[in-house]
Amino acid sequence: MASSTHPITFRERVSRHLDILILFLILLALIIVASLLSDRFLSRLNIENLLVQSVGVGIAAFALCGVILTGGIDLSIGLNITVGNCIASHLFVQSLPLSLPLVLLTCTSAGLVNGLGITRLRLNPFIMTFGMMLILQGAALFLRPEPGGEIPVGFNSFLMGNLGPIPRPFLLLLVCFALSWVILKKTRLGTHIYAIGNNERSASLSGINIGRVKLFAYSFCGFLGGVGALFYSAQTLSGDPNLGLPITLDAITAVALGGVPLIGGRGGAVGVLFGIFIVTIISNILNLANVNTFYQYVIKGTILLVAVAATSRR
Amino acid sequence: MPEIRGIRPAGNGPQPGNGFVVEMEGISKEFPGTKALDGVSFRLRPGEIHALIGENGAGKSTLIKILGGIYRADQGRIRINGQAVDIRDPQTARRLGIGVVFQEFNLIPELSVVENLFLSLEKTRAGLFLRRREMIRAAAAVLEKVGLDIDPTRKVSAFSVAEQQLMEIAKAILTEARILILDEPTAVLAAPEVANLFRIMREFKAQGRALAFVSHRLDEVLEISDQVTVLKDGANAGSLPNENVSRNDLIRLMVGQEFKDIFFQGEKKTAGGVLLRVSNLWVGDKIRDVSFNVRAGEIVALGGLEGHGQQTVLEALFGLHRHRGQVELEGRPVRLSSPREALKQGIMMVTDDRKGEGLALDLSVLHNLGLLNHGRFTGWGGVINSSREKALAGGVIDRLGIKTPSLGQQVKFLSGGNQQKILVGRITYLPRVRLLLFKELTRGVDVGAKIEIYNQLHDMVKDLAAEARIGILFYSSDMLEILGLSDRIVGLYDGRVTAVLENKGLSEEKLMSEIIQGAGKAGGGTGAAGEAAPAG
């Protein structure tokens, strides 16, 4: 490659991967701290546990990743998963082949509606998805006022359990990761998502159809929400209308920690994967150390704020 | 006076399909409050470099934006290769083979060069997956064509503005544009880069493509163009082939003949001692070694073609740019590192961007007037004394003749002229202003309101100057405004002072040529335009 006048400097080379390097170091530090705090932490059981715990938040985080990269947000993602879960808890026992696509379709449409509201009605993404969150909460409570219902055990044994040494749900997360990575890095859609997050006007002047890209991002977010619903259904074997909000919060934290600023345009799937692990390990540490739920909320809220502040600078 | 040759009346021009790639006829475009274009025609031949010139506000950018699909004309016809077209959006323009490089670039800094070059035109497999290696190869090839030897996988933000300019051109080449429009391409370039750009432009021309460019630098226009179209006040002032055309011809067409006598022509007061002394001011390489004075009670204008540093000088004095050199206020050196610092020293800037920087549009007239200094009417604990607030505001409104139904009226419902007066009126609230800076006094203000503002501003400003011994420095791209309002004019060309003129018996034309000709005398080896004049 011709690069005589402008060779890539060492600094630039480092800075390209600096975010990932920092995230790796944070993760490493957390693992060391955790293993010092509790000798159970590095046990096989706890590691498997950790991997499974990372799945729900992780899928939600990858769902959000594309949306946030365009400079948007989806506050309804947790409730989207909840509604999918509540539908599953009614219908999966009747006919899995019919109801499974229905769950994915419902969740995808909720995302699509978010996208339509934002692109066609020009609603602020925060308000649009906040409204959607409330609507979906209502729907979840209508479908399942109390936690309960039933998921066929066969579905559980299909999705849960191990494949070799690796928990199957974790493989599901890796599939979501791979899908996100390919879309963001290897397709034109991904390039357009970054372009919009960077400068919507320039992107539009360059001939990108802004509305279509955003519609895709929100619909894809909803679709991954449906995948998340499948996971939670298999894991809990029941429907729970109160599943949602903590998922949203953890997922936003994971994306922000992963180096995607809330104004979008920067960061990517690899960083978010690290963000997911960091959030999961912090939760795990707090549980292992028997920290009161009250403090857990305070600590998580603080981490969310710090993560957003750290990524929104520069 | 030499006759100006080759001005084509619209009716005599060649007919459609007569070898023009672009024919714009009778184009009109109105923005709220201003008529940007009024029946403008513009024609472009293949294998031609066509310069589009005119004073600021003449409508050049609007015309280009219509061709690029950013704006839609209210009236008029556009033909591309003889076919009537409707350029609805930028995508349509591109499909028609029109590539536009705008003044404000459309590159996305966080993406790599190759991603930017192919943005929305990505080479893909199955319409989905990027053919990255192929794109990188093609990018490197096209970058080499424009003289950029760089690694296309690096982020755009790593490169200089001049390099980004070339990337924009490379992007236009990739779209296989047959018609390339450049909006002030040389504004950000140094001399060797200009030479490189001209080489690329000539290559384009040799390939039979059509090029149009906007420039404020007449030397460059004379050097590179085959045809020059001049706009004035949103209308055609002439279109002539670049043969035996002199700068003066162009200047006369740009500024027009008539000198409208709309300005205050009072007795000039004798100015006091030196209030502001600027010595050897440098701002990057935009402002080079600029020195001048403003005396108390004096109104000094920064004059020149647009984009030659007037605005930057003003902004630097308001602490908006990092600068080198010395600034003294009443003999004491001051450090103007931020607007806050400038305000503390009694330097106040009135902005041209009323909506973006100046006014809170949804607030009332009353609150907008008081925005800068509530101290004038607040009592103990910051509680507003509203009768005092109203009395103060009422005084300003009377004095400036601001037309508003009430003090409670939201500012967004006032006309541009009245909004501007509110900005000016705020000055009254400040405790000790010593130097007032005005940026583009009357941008976006219609002619009627302009005259009113001139008169009333001038009265007020003279009053203020006499009372408080303040000085005024302003910049306007309207030469008439400069001649009508100033006592003295500091002419800037290419970031240097090329003329300092007492405003006595100056015509618009004389002023322009003094400033531009001064560049030839003052221009050192680094001046971009000075050396570019054609030999014959």
Written as tens digits, the pLDDT of chain B (536 aa) is: 343 443 333 333 344 446 899 999 999 998 765 678 889 999 999 999 999 988 766 788 889 999 988 889 999 999 999 899 999 888 888 889 998 888 767 888 889 999 999 988 888 888 788 888 999 999 999 999 888 889 999 988 888 777 888 898 888 888 888 899 998 887 667 677 788 889 989 988 998 999 999 887 788 889 999 999 998 888 888 888 888 888 778 877 877 644 344 454 455 555 678 889 999 999 988 899 999 999 887 889 998 877 788 889 999 999 888 899 999 998 899 999 888 888 888 888 877 666 666 777 778 888 888 776 666 667 677 677 778 788 888 888 887 777 778 888 888 777 666 777 787 777 777 767 788 888 876 665 554 556 666 666 666 666 666 665 678 898 887 777 788 778 899 999 888 998 898 888 787 778 877 887 776 555 443 333 333 333 33
Given the DSSP bridges, would you call strands B210-214 and B179-183 parallel, antiparallel or unpaired?
A: parallel
Q: Which fold has domain A42-312?
A: ABC transporter involved in vitamin B12 uptake, BtuC (1.10.3470)
Instruction: Compute the nearest-CA separation of A212 from chain B (Å).
Output: 13
Both B436 and B492 in a single domain? yes
CB < 8 Å to B158, chain A? 6, 12
**Cβ atoms < 10 Å from Cβ of A136:** 26
Residues of B with CB under 8 A from a CB of A: 70, 90-91, 94, 102, 105-111, 115, 119-122, 124, 128-130, 132, 136, 140, 143-144, 149-154, 158-159
Same domain for B335 and B426?
no
Whether residue B317 is found in the same domain as residue B440: yes
Task: Estimate to the nearest angstrom the gap between the alpha carbon of A282 and the chain centroid.
Answer: 16
- Residue B86 falls within a domain, yes or no? yes
Q: Residues near B301 by Cβ (< 8 Å), separated by ≥ 6? A: B473, B474, B475, B476, B482, B485, B486, B488, B489, B490, B503
Alpha-carbon gap: A209 to the closest alpha carbon of chain B (Å): 9
ipTM here: 0.78
Residues on chain A touching B91 (C-beta within 8 angstroms) = 207
CA distance A41 to B316: 59
Residue A222: strand, helix, or coil: helix
Question: Residue length, chain A?
Answer: 314
Q: Do A8 and B129 touch (CB under 8 A)?
A: no
Q: Is residue B369 part of a domain?
A: yes
Indicate whether B503 and B395 sit together in one domain.
no
Please spell the DSSP secondary structure of B295-358, one letter per residue. Answer: ETT-EEEEESSTTSSHHHHHHHHTT-S--EEEEEETTEE----SHHHHHHTTEEEE-S-IIIII
**Is B243 in the same domain as B323?**
no
Residue range of the domain that includes B456 = 271-346+432-526
**B143 inside domain:** no
- From A3's Cα to the closest Cα of chain B, the distance in A is 5
CB distance B354 to B422 below 8 Å: no
* Coil, strand or helix at A46: helix
Cβ-based burial of A293 (10 A; exposed 0-12, middle 13-18, buried ≥19): exposed
Cβ contact B128–A188 (<8 Å):
yes
Distance from the B98 Cα atom to the nearest Cα atom in chain A, whole angstroms:
12
| Residue B124 Cα, gap to closest chain A Cα (Å) | 8
User: Does B222 reside within a domain?
Assistant: yes
Helical segments of chain A, H only: 10-37, 44-69, 77-91, 96-119, 125-143, 153-159, 168-186, 188-198, 200-205, 210-236, 244-257, 269-288, 293-312
With CA atoms as reference, the chain A residue closest to B168 would be A206
Contacts of A207 in chain B (CB under 8 A): 90-91, 94, 119-121
B234 and B276 in a single domain? The answer is no
Residues A176-228 pLDDT 10s: 999 999 999 999 899 999 999 988 888 887 778 899 999 999 999 999 999 99
- Total of domains in chain B: 3
In chain B, what is the greatest distance between 2 CA atoms, to the nearest angstrom?
78
One domain for residues B340 and B276: yes
- Those residues whose C-beta lies under 8 Å from the C-beta of residue B478, and which sit 6 or more positions away, are B55, B56, B57, B442
* A2, A186, A194: residue with CB nearest B149: A2
On whether residue B238 sits in a domain, the answer given is yes
* B129 with A202: Cβ contact below 8 A: no
Rounded Cα distance, B515 and B513, in Å: 5
Q: What pLDDT is recorded for position B225?
A: 93
Axis-axis angle for helices B416-425, B447-468 (nearest 10)? 10
Task: Tell me, yes or no, whether B34 and B76 share the same domain.
Answer: yes
- Which residues on chain B are in Cβ contact (under 8 Å) with A263? none
B166 in any annotated domain: no
CATH number assigned to the domain comprising residue B69: 3.40.50.300
Are residue B310 and residue B457 in the same domain, yes or no? Answer: yes
Candidates A208, A215, A202, A193; CA nearest to A66 is: A193
CA distance A135 to A139: 6
Assess whether B438 and B521 both reside in one domain.
yes
Q: Residue B77 falls within a domain, yes or no?
A: yes
B147 belongs to a structural domain: no
Q: Are residues B307 and B371 in the same domain?
A: no
